[in-house]
Amino acid sequence: MATEITVHEALKNTIASEINSYITEIDTLGIVGEIKDKNIHIAFPDAMKISLDEEIYIFPNNANIENKTFCSDLFIENLDVYILTKQDNDERLLYKATVIENALIKTLQRNRNLGGEVLTLEVTDTTTYPSVSPSQTITCIKVQMNITFMKSY
């Protein structure tokens, strides 16, 4: 049994511990920096306040509890993971964000239960937002996913 908080932390920890090996494999130009724990936040991204060149934000979108009964604690949460890159030209920003996106998806494909914390994890959509900030060049890719787990109250 898990809570939303433990699931978000498990997702953050899985990304922090696994994503760099896939970035190294995918990044043929060698320009994507190492993603560390300090690059990953459980919050909505504020493009004007990102301090690192590559950052990842985990943000809960909504949850499906309409099928909830007294016999089941099944909980489906929709999460958005935002990948933001900055401090480069548009082409390199998009390249870096795409490398991180692909490494994130590979990480999640190989860790679909986040170390036993969840039942299933499914990536449902990705969306690219070029130049999300007018005052500086920042590229964002949003990865949407559904996470199913047994909720603890």
- pLDDT digit string, tens, across residues 49-89: 889 999 999 999 887 665 555 556 788 889 999 999 988 88
| Exposed / middle / buried, residue 137 (Cβ in 10 Å: 0-12, 13-18, 19+) | middle
Residue 48, classed as helix, strand or coil, is coil
pLDDT of residue 132 exceeding 70, the answer is no
| pTM for the structure as a whole | 0.89
Q: Supply the mean pLDDT for the chain.
A: 88
Give the amino acid at 119. Answer: L
15, 107 contact by CB (below 8 A): yes
pLDDT of residue 133 exceeding 90, the answer is no
Pairing relationship of beta strands 138-150 and 120-129 according to DSSP bridges: antiparallel
pLDDT of residue 134 exceeding 60, the answer is no
